[in-house]
Amino acid sequence: MVMLGFTKPTTQQHAVPQTSIVETVTKKGAGKAPDFTFKVNGKSTTFAEISQGKPVLLNFWATWCGPCRREIPDLIALSKELSGKAVVLGVALDQGDDRVNMVKSSIERFGITYPNVIDNLDWKLAEAYGNIPSVPTTFIIDKNGTIIQKIVGAQKKEVFAAALAKAL
């Protein structure tokens, strides 16, 4: 199993989750979470590898989205509380040539401690999840890779925790 790494913190900074662009997307059967590849420490890994045997909260967001930014503290807290039991993973939908730097900068500014990937310019991951209608949109995926809930719009930690409890 591949663990999502963290960049080494510099003096006076917290560890910042790595951010990588989604490379490939593979759709699965009906109701199943699509698999996708991205790099961790320069090595390709897959969503299936990092989520193996654990429920996942997959949060599609964007740096410019106010409601997305409002739910980040709750996602950080939930990620810390469920460490080792569940995976919280962000998928940034930012576009443009500078999207990687925009997302990395936002991750640092908001103190995001859970890992994030950036959808490719064709939004293949968002498309595989049914064309995300708006951000934030969150999917709760059980340990077998089945999507058990789709949550559109910003939510509080309690809503996410209750949804994940069904998947634990």
pLDDT for the residue numbered 17: 58
DSSP state of 26: E
Supply the pTM of this predicted model: 0.89
The pLDDT of residue 168 is above 60: yes
Mean of pLDDT values over 6-22: 53
Given this model, what pLDDT does residue 19 score? 84
Q: Residue 7: pLDDT above 50?
A: no
What is the rounded average pLDDT of the residues 17-29?
Answer: 89
Is the pLDDT higher at 158 or at 5?
A: 158
Mean pLDDT, rounded, of the chain: 89
As a whole number, mean pLDDT of residues 145-157 equals 97
Segments making up each domain of the chain, as ranges: 18-167
Q: How far apart are CA 110 and CA 71, in angstroms?
A: 11
Return the H-helix or E-strand segment holding 18. Answer: none
Q: Which CATH superfamily is domain 18-167 in?
A: Glutaredoxin (3.40.30.10)
Please tell me the distance from the alpha carbon of residue 101 to that of residue 158, in angstroms, as a whole number. Answer: 31
Q: What DSSP assignment string belongs to 133-168? A: -SSSEEEEE-TTSBEEEEEES---HHHHHHHHHHH-
Strand-strand pairing, 16-17 and 6-7: antiparallel
pLDDT in tens, 91-136: 999 999 999 999 999 999 999 999 999 999 999 999 999 999 899 9
Is residue 11 scored above 60 in pLDDT? no
